[in-house]
Amino acid sequence: MAQYRAYVTDYADEVLLWMRHREAQQLPYNGNSPQLSTRGQLVEFLCFVTEQLKLSVVTTHLAVYLLDRFMDGHHINDSQLKLTALTAILVAAKFEEKDMNVPRIPDLNIFAKNKYGITIFNAMEIFMLKFFNWNVGTVTVAHFAELYLSVGLSVGDTVSGNTIANTHLTRISLWNYTARFLDISLHDQGFLQWGNSLVAAGCVACGRLLCQFNPVWSNTLHRFTGYDLQALSEVMNLLIRYHVNEDKNSECNTPDSGYTSHCSSLHGTP
pTM score: 0.87
Q: With 90 as the cut, is the pLDDT of residue 147 above it? A: yes
- Mean predicted lDDT score pLDDT of the chain: 88
- Kind plus residue range of the DSSP H or E element containing 163: strand 162-163
Q: Strand, coil or helix: what is 105?
A: helix
Confidence at 98, pLDDT banded by 50, 70, 90: very high
Strand-pair partners of 213: 159
CATH topology of domain 141-257: Cyclin A; domain 1 (1.10.472)
pLDDT tens per residue, range 161-186: 889 889 999 999 999 999 999 999 99
In the sheet that holds 162-163, the strands lie side by side as 162-163, 158-159, 213-214
Annotated domain spans of the chain: 141-257
Among 19-23, 165-169, 191-195, 217-221, name the one with the lowest average pLDDT: 165-169
Q: What is the DSSP code (8-state) at residue 189? A: G
Confidence at 9, pLDDT banded by 50, 70, 90: low
Q: What distances in angstroms separate CA 98 from CA 107, 146, 171, one per listed residue?
A: 16, 18, 25
pLDDT tens per residue, range 17-53: 999 999 999 999 998 888 899 999 999 999 999 999 9
pLDDT tens per residue, range 122-138: 999 999 999 999 999 89
